[in-house]
Each structure stands twice: as C-alpha cells, then as structure tokens.
C-alpha cells in the first residue's frame, strides 16, 4: 500500500493467498439467489394485492342484487349450477380457523386492512431489493475507480460491457446503471482486432484450458455465454478504451499462482480491485499473439461480505477494522493527500494520538519497572539519581498524558452534545419518570424520618438548587427501592450519577452542596454511552465519600451494558483506569 | 490411461447429475400430480355417495369468493352434476352416471400411478448402475449389501 502511494503501482500478492476462489463464487451465487428469491416473493405478494383489490370490488358489488346465478363448486372436479343467496352475509376467516359473519361493508374494511399489511410487506421487500441492487451497483463505481487508478477514463459511447453467463436481471441492472452499450464479441477468429483490443493468452486461459482443442473454436462464437466444454464462464466484463475489465461473477479463476495487483480502493465500499499487471500479461500472451496486452481484470468481491445495517452506520475507522475482520485481505484507504476529508484528518490525528499514548504508556511501564527494581535492589546514590531522573520523566509523561486526555475529553464532549440533542426527547421522558418516582419516594422518605430528612431540611434551607437536589435525593431513593427498574433503563448513567449521591448526603451534609453541583451538569451532558467524562465526573465526587466497591460494581454492570453501544469510547477507557490506579 | 479414466468418470457423473436425477425428479412430480387427481376423484365419489345416502335434492353451501371469504350459495337441484372429464370439458351426469365415470377414471389413474412408480424404480436402478460403474472405474471394493434384516 505504501508502495502504491509512492509509485502509483500496487504490491503483488497471489490471489490464492487472499481468498479461495470458490468462496467468492459461492458468495456471489448466494446474493444472486437471494435476489431471485425476493423477486419471486415480491411477485407473490403483488398477486395477493391484486387478488385482494379484486375481491374488494366483488364484495362491494355483490349486495347490489338479491341473488346471483353462479356455478357452485363441488370438490375440485365437479360443480352444480346454483346461485348465491344472502348476498350481504359474508363469512370471513379471521385466522386460526375462526370465522366471523360480516356484512359486505365490514368485509371490505377487513380486506382493506389486509391490503395495508400486504403493502407494508411490499415496502420491506422493496427495501431489501434496494440493498441487493446497491451491491450490484458497484459495477459502476468499479469502472470509474478503475478509470481513476489506471488513468483511463471511461468513454461511455466507446465502451461496452460484456456479459457471460450472468443472470438476466443482473444484465438488465448493470445496463441500466452503466451508460455502456452491451457488447458482443466477434466470433471464432482470434487475430481479428476485437472490440476488446487484442485477445490473448489471458483470454485463452480463463476461457478454458489451452490444450482443449475441440473447444477452441467455440469459445467466442457465443456472444452472451462463453461456453467451453467444461464450464460456463459467468461474469460481467467491461471494456473501455483498449482495456477489458472483468468483473467475474462466479468465474472460475485459475488455480495457478497467478499474480494480482491490489489497487487501493475507497473504503466506503468493502471492495477491492485486483488488476493484472500488463507485464505479466505480456509474458503470458507472447505464446499466443506476441502483442502487448492491455487487459485489466478487476476482481471485486463485495459478494464476500455480508453488509449489515449497523455495519453501514459505523464510522469508517471501525469499518476498516470490520472489513479487516471479514475479509481475508486488506482493504485500502485512499492515499491521504488524495482525499483529505475532514473526518479522515481527524481520524488520522486520533490515531497519531493513540500511538503516542501507547508509546507513553509503554514508557511509563518501563519506568515503573525500573522503580520497582530500584526499590528491591540496594539503594546506591547512582540509582537514586536514576530514580530522580525517572521521576522527572515520569511527571512529564503524566502531564502529556493529561493533555492527551483533555483533548480526548473535548472531542468527546462535542460528540456527547450531539448525542444529547438526539436523546433530548428521551431525556424529557426520563425526567418525567424521575418526577413520578420522586413523589413515591418522598412518601417513603417521610415514613423513614432520620438523618436523611434532616439533610433534606438543611438542603431546602440553604441550597439554591433545591429542586434539583430534591430530585436527586428522591431519585436515589427510588432507585434503591426499585433496582430492577433501574436496570431496565437504557440510560443508566444518569441514574448512576444520582444514585451515588444520597448516601453521601446522609453522611456529610456540608459537602452535599458542593458535590451536587457537578452532578446536574454531568447529567445534562452524559449520554447513554458510558464515556469518559461521565466516568470522571462521577469519580470526582465519589472519590471522597462513596465506597469504591459499590461504585465499581455499578460501573462494571453498566460497562457491560453500554460497551456494545459505544465501542468508540473504548480507547479512552484505559486512560481513566490508569489514572485511578496512579492516584 | 489415468486421464482416460478421469474423463470417463466425469462423463458418468455428468450423466447422473444432468440426466438421471432431473428425470427422477420430474417423474416423481408427475406421479404426485396423478396422486392428487386420484384424491379429488375419490373425494367426489364419497361426496356423491353421501348425497345419495341422505337423498339430498337441494343443497345450501358456502362458496369461497377468494382469500377465505365465504358466501352462502343455494343449489336448487343436486340430481344433475357437472363433472370435469379433462381438457376443460364438463359433462352433466346423474349421480349413477357420475359414479360410474369416477370408478373408471380412478382405475385409469391407478394404472398411471403404477406406471410412474415403475418408471421411478427403473431410473433409480439406472442411477445405481452408473454408480456401480463409477465404483468399478475407481477400483473401490464393492459395498457389501446387507443380507437379511439387521437387528
């Protein structure tokens, strides 16, 4: 990849190393099958809908006459002539073998409701179709990307796309997406200047084995399917400006140690390109035509991935790692100077910071070790000096760490505000809840008059933020009384913050005021994520009074609850933990 | 020699996968269709016999309008029944005539089923045979067929 950034060419890796061809084939086939399946399903549902609307009009029309002459079916193979009577009495199946007798009008209503359900089904099916189609729409970007990378731009009027053994809907979709014409390969003469430039050994090879004599003439006679005796090569082949791009859909790739060039590919699509180096092609093709080949093969394998929705929503740093996990090969970012989007720049910075952080941490560890050793060993003056130096360095590192942490905090605060905006309606709901719970717990409070009530009075006298503390206090009690309820809340952190305050109040009254003040602040800012500021804010005033065991217990439960939601905040966690240890 | 054998093996396998197995599936589907017909006719016979036994002359029934929506229907005269005789033709029968026709039809359907069953068996036998051929080509030891019931 770095090599590419420098020279504009890729690194060479063998295809077999990256992924097995059969797997790609299978995955692609699966996507195709799924698409066909969904199309069938859609047809089925559409038929239901049309049946339903016909039935509605029929049911509306029937009561217009007292009776209708009809043929009454008697089993499947026989019927009687008869007539419909009681034309305004209709039995409708409600499901599970239950029938209801309805009038025509009521039946129409039922049927309309059924129709709505069917419509929603159509909507969801269409959404799925869209997703699948989006996968196929990568054809377009494949072509354009290849153009960017190879320095060739596709001239759509000069370009053609070839299909070989692809399903018809893929053909249609590809043609509708691309502005290319559908190309046809001329037949059986290899040395004719073909539309695709010069066909050569490479063509020969992936169309069949070279020594397969009887198949030789027949490869190219077929314009849609390149059949050879053993296999049908399916795939979509792009041709523009002297290069042929192949997007093999289930193409049988050679098992020989063919070399491929990886070309950087934008990360927004989990695809990558493999371009055959012209040199190798030339080497290969010498035996056949002796001409310099300009044949590109673009392998894209988005079919290998399952593109899930949350996957799409994640930001691109995670996506990188994700794709790294799913793909047995590297997905490249575009070179930074090419597309320095703001988010990417940020990410770069973050990664740099992370690196620095890791470095500092490792250095700290070293220092710690040294310290330990120094303590264990005999304390000579030299070593003391060493320790002093170490300490100095240590302090410096710590300050740097703090800086980094602060930066992170700021970044996160911004994020948190955004989140908070999103969650604000949810929040208001929560505050409502809090109030209601507060009332309950106030009663409770009055029943159990003790120190707490005294503190309450004290607070009501001197605290300017009385209502807030009230809420806090009550909430704390409520939470204590109904722990299950608390667990069920998605946003557990605010509760957590509050929860920690009442015992505090009970114990040390004068401090309550000071301690409470940060609490509402943090509550207003802390979102559902258990991000660091919340953590720290809590620490800030729990450290003095509240027992750590209690607290950490809550934290651990919450971390487990929220960690799945906020993987992004994880890198920040070690910081605070470390700090806790150090203090 | 080895290459020759390979090719032969491949051809055998292709014959099984592309010819024999689709044929088998097709035959089974056809037989299922005939089974279904047999069932409809036997149902019809039972229904007519039921009508005869109870000497029902007029009938009130529910007609499916589609999507499991039913309406009452009245049959003033059940003596004459129209029976599907195939190719989209329906013949007006009396009860006895209908029963006579149905019995003949059932006989024919039974014969058809038997034919299909035989066909299926022969296709299966052919598949087995080709497999045996493949086995011989690979020079694998013959599978010992289990003699008698196994307890």
Residue B149 lies in a domain: no
Residue A86, chain B, CB below 8 Å: the answer is yes
Q: How far is B117 from chain A (nearest CA, A)?
A: 24
Assess whether A334 and A385 both reside in one domain. Answer: no
Task: Write A414-421 long-range contacts (CB < 8 A, 24+).
Answer: A415/A531, A416/A525, A416/A526, A416/A527, A416/A529, A416/A531, A416/A533, A417/A525, A419/A527, A419/A528, A419/A529, A420/A524, A420/A525, A420/A527
Residue of B nearest to A82 (CA): B75
A235, containing H or E segment? strand A235-240
Residue B51 lies in a domain: yes
Residue A481 has pLDDT above 90, yes or no: no
For residues A9 and B108, the model is more confident at: B108
Residue B114 lies in a domain: yes
Strand order in the sheet with A235-240: A181-182, A160-164, A235-240, A243-247
Of the residues A320, A342, A364, which one is the last residue of a structural domain?
A342
Q: What span, in angstroms and rounded, lies between the C-alpha atoms of A582 and A539? A: 14
> DSSP string spanning A380-437?
-HHHHHHHHHHHHHHHHHHHHHHHHHHHHHHHHHHHHHHHHHHHHHHHHHHHHHHHHH
Assess whether A428 and A449 both reside in one domain. Answer: yes
Q: How confident is the model at residue B43 (pLDDT cuts 50, 70, 90)?
A: very high
> DSSP string spanning A301-360?
-GGGS---HHHHHS-HHHHHHHHHHHSSSPPPPPPTTT---HHHHHHHHHHHHHHHHHHH
Residue B148 lies in a domain: no
Q: How confident is the model at residue B120 (pLDDT cuts 50, 70, 90)?
A: very high
Domain tally, chain A: 3
Assess whether A286 and A153 both reside in one domain. Answer: yes
Residue of B nearest to A49 (CA): B67
Assess whether A470 and A526 both reside in one domain. Answer: yes
For residues A208 and A136, the model is more confident at: A136
Residue A538 to residues A58, A157, A484, A526, B104: CA-CA distances in angstroms? 68, 65, 22, 11, 90
* A-to-B residue pairs, Cβ atoms closer than 8 angstroms: 102
Task: Write A42-45 long-range contacts (CB < 8 A, 24+).
Answer: A42/A122, A42/A125, A42/A126, A42/A129, A45/A118, A45/A121, A45/A122, A45/A125
Residue B83 lies in a domain: yes
> Which A residues 19-78 touch B at CB under 8 Å?
51-52, 54-55, 58-59, 62, 67, 70-78
Residue contact A80–B59, C-beta within 8 A = yes
What pLDDT is stored for residue A358 in this prediction?
Answer: 64
Least confident of A78-92, A322-336, A422-436, B4-18: A322-336
With a CB cutoff of 8 Å and minimum separation 6, the contacts of A214 are: A229
What pLDDT is stored for residue B135 in this prediction?
Answer: 86
Residue A80, chain B, CB below 8 Å: the answer is yes
Write down the ipTM of this complex.
0.77
* For residues A496-517, average pLDDT: 42
Model pTM? 0.38
Average pLDDT, chain A: 52
What pLDDT is stored for residue B32 in this prediction?
Answer: 94
Assess whether A338 and A445 both reside in one domain. Answer: no
For residues B95 and A445, the model is more confident at: B95
Q: How far is B20 from chain A (nearest CA, A)?
A: 19
What pLDDT is stored for residue A31 in this prediction?
Answer: 76
Residue A85, chain B, CB below 8 Å: the answer is yes
Assess whether A366 and A279 both reside in one domain. Answer: no
The enclosing domain of B94 has a CATH number of 1.10.287.370
The fraction of chain A above a pLDDT of 70, given in percent, is: 20
Residue A100, chain B, CB below 8 Å: the answer is no
Residue B35 has pLDDT above 90, yes or no: yes
> Which A residues 155-214 touch B at CB under 8 Å?
none
Residue B118 has pLDDT above 90, yes or no: yes
Assess whether A117 and A143 both reside in one domain. Answer: no
Residues of chain A positioned with their CB less than 8 A from the CB of B84: 76-78
Assess whether A369 and A239 both reside in one domain. Answer: no
Residue contact A72–B84, C-beta within 8 A = no
The pLDDT tens digits of the residues spanning A216-255 come to: 333 332 233 333 222 223 334 443 333 334 333 322 233 2
What pLDDT is stored for residue A120 in this prediction?
Answer: 92
Residue of B nearest to A79 (CA): B82
What pLDDT is stored for residue B134 in this prediction?
Answer: 86
For residues A258 and A534, the model is more confident at: A534
Q: What span, in angstroms and rounded, lies between the C-alpha atoms of A490 and B118? A: 66
Residue B24 in tokens: 């088998």
Q: What span, in angstroms and rounded, lies between the C-alpha atoms of A186 and A223? A: 7
What pLDDT is stored for residue A10 in this prediction?
Answer: 52
Q: Which structural domain range is residue B61 located in? A: 2-138
Q: How confident is the model at residue A28 (pLDDT cuts 50, 70, 90)?
A: low
CA angle A249, A250, A254 (to 5 degrees): 115
Assess whether A85 and A68 both reside in one domain. Answer: yes
Assess whether A330 and A388 both reside in one domain. Answer: no
Domain tally, chain B: 1
Residue B88 lies in a domain: yes
Q: Which of A58, A75, A91 sits opposite B44 (nearest CB)?
A: A75
The pLDDT tens digits of the residues spanning A160-210 come to: 565 554 556 666 766 665 556 665 544 333 443 333 333 333 443 333 333
Of the residues A135, A160, A184, which one is the last residue of a structural domain?
A135
Residue B120 in tokens: 């299926």
For residues A361 and B22, the model is more confident at: B22
Q: How confident is the model at residue B51 (pLDDT cuts 50, 70, 90)?
A: confident
Residue B81, chain A, CB below 8 Å: the answer is yes
Q: What span, in angstroms and rounded, lies between the C-alpha atoms of A133 and A138? A: 9
Residues of chain B positioned with their CB less than 8 A from the CB of A59: 65, 69
Q: What span, in angstroms and rounded, lies between the C-alpha atoms of B143 and A561? A: 58
Residue contact B74–A90, C-beta within 8 A = no
Least confident of A437-441, B34-38, B135-139: A437-441
Assess whether A123 and A143 both reside in one domain. Answer: no
Of the residues A316, A342, A368, which one is the last residue of a structural domain?
A342
> Which B residues 7-46 touch A at CB under 8 Å?
37, 40-41, 43-44
The enclosing domain of A125 has a CATH number of 1.10.287.370
> Burial of B4 by CB count in 10 Å (0-12 exposed, 13-18 middle, 19+ buried)?
exposed
* For residues A496-521, average pLDDT: 42
Q: Which structural domain range is residue A543 located in? A: 346-582
Assess whether A178 and A282 both reside in one domain. Answer: yes
What pLDDT is stored for residue B10 in this prediction?
Answer: 87
> DSSP string spanning A449-515?
-SHHHHHHHHHHHH-TTHHHHHHHHHHHHHHHH-HHHHHH-S-HHHHHHHHTHHHHHHH-HHHHHHH
The fraction of chain A above a pLDDT of 90, given in percent, is: 3
Q: How far is B121 from chain A (nearest CA, A)?
A: 30
What torsion do the CA atoms of B142, B146, B147, B151 make, to the nearest 10 degrees? 160
């Amino acid at each position: 990849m770095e090599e590419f950034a420098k020279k504009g060419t890729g690194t060479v890796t063998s295809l077999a190393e990256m992924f097995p061809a059969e797997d790609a084939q299978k995955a692609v086939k699966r996507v195709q099958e799924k698409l066909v399946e969904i199309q069938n399903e859609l047809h089925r549902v559409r038929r239901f809908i049309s049946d339903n609307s016909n039935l509605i009009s029929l049911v509306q029309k029937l009561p217009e006459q007292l009776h209708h002459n009809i043929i009454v079916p008697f089993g499947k193979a026989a019927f009687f002539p008869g007539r419909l009577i009681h034309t305004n009495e209709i039995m409708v199946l409600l499901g599970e073998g239950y029938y209801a007798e309805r009038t025509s009008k009521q039946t129409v209503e039922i049927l309309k409701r059924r129709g709505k359900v069917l419509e929603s089904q159509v909507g969801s099916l269409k959404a799925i179709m869209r997703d699948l189609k989006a996968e196929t729409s990568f054809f377009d970007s494949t072509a354009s990307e290849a153009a960017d990378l190879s320095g060739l731009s596709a001239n759509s009027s000069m370009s053609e796309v070839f299909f070989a053994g692809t399903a018809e809907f893929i053909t249609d979709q590809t043609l509708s997406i691309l502005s290319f014409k559908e190309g046809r390969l001329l037949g059986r003469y290899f040395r004719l200047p073909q539309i695709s430039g010069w066909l050569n050994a490479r063509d020969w090879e992936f169309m069949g084995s070279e020594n397969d004599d009887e198949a030789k003439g027949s490869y190219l006679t077929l314009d849609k399917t390149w059949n050879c005796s053993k296999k049908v090569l399916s795939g979509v082949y792009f041709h523009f400006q002297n290069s042929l791009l192949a997007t093999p859909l289930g193409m049988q790739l050679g098992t020989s140690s063919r070399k491929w060039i990886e070309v950087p590919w934008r990360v927004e699509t989990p695809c990558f390109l493999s371009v055959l180096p012209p040199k190798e092609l030339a080497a290969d093709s010498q035996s056949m035509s002796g001409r310099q080949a300009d044949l590109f093969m673009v392998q894209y394998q988005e079919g290998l991935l399952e593109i899930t929705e949350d996957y799409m929503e994640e930001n691109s740093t995670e996506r990188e790692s994700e794709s790294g996990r799913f793909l047995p090969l590297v997905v490249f970012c575009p070179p930074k100077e090419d597309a320095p989007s703001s988010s990417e720049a940020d990410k770069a910075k973050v990664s740099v910071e992370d690196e620095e952080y890791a470095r500092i941490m490792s250095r700290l560890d070293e220092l710690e070790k040294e310290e330990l050793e120094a303590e264990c060993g005999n304390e000579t003056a030299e070593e003391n000096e060493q320790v002093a130096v170490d300490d100095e360095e240590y302090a410096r590192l710590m300050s740097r760490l703090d800086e980094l942490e602060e930066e992170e905090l700021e970044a996160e605060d911004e994020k948190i505000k955004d989140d908070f905006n999103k969650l604000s309606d949810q929040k208001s709901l929560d505050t409502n809840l809090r109030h209601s719970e507060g009332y309950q717990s106030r009663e409770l409070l009055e029943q159990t008059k003790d120190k707490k009530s005294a503190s309450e009075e004290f607070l009501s006298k001197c605290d300017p933020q009385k209502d807030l503390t009230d809420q806090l206090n009550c909430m704390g009690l409520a939470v204590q009384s109904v722990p299950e309820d608390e667990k069920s809340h998605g946003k557990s952190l605010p509760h957590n913050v509050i929860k920690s305050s009442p015992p505090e109040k009970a114990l040390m009254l004068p401090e309550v005021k000071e301690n409470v003040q940060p609490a509402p602040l943090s509550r207003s800012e802390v979102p559902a994520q258990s991000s660091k500021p919340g953590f720290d804010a809590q620490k800030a005033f729990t450290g003095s009074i509240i027992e750590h065991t209690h607290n950490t217990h809550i934290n651990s439960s919450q971390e487990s609850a929220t960690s799945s939601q906020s993987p992004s905040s994880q890198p920040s966690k070690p910081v605070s933990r470390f700090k806790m240890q150090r203090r | 020699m080895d290459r020759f054998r390979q090719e032969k093996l491949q051809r055998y396998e292709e014959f099984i996968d592309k010819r024999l197995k689709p044929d088998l599936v097709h035959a089974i589907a056809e037989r299922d269709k005939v089974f279904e017909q047999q069932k409809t006719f036997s149902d019809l016979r039972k229904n007519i016999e039921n009508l005869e036994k109870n000497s029902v002359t007029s009938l009130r029934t529910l007609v499916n309008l589609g999507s499991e929506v039913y309406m009452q229907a009245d049959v003033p005269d059940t003596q004459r029944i129209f029976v599907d005789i195939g190719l989209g033709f329906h013949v007006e029968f009396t009860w006895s005539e209908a029963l006579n026709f149905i019995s003949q039809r059932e006989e024919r359907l039974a014969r058809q089923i038997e034919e299909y069953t035989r066909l299926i068996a022969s296709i299966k036998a052919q598949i087995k045979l080709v497999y045996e051929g493949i086995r011989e080509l690979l020079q694998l030891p013959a599978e010992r067929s289990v003699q008698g019931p196994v307890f």
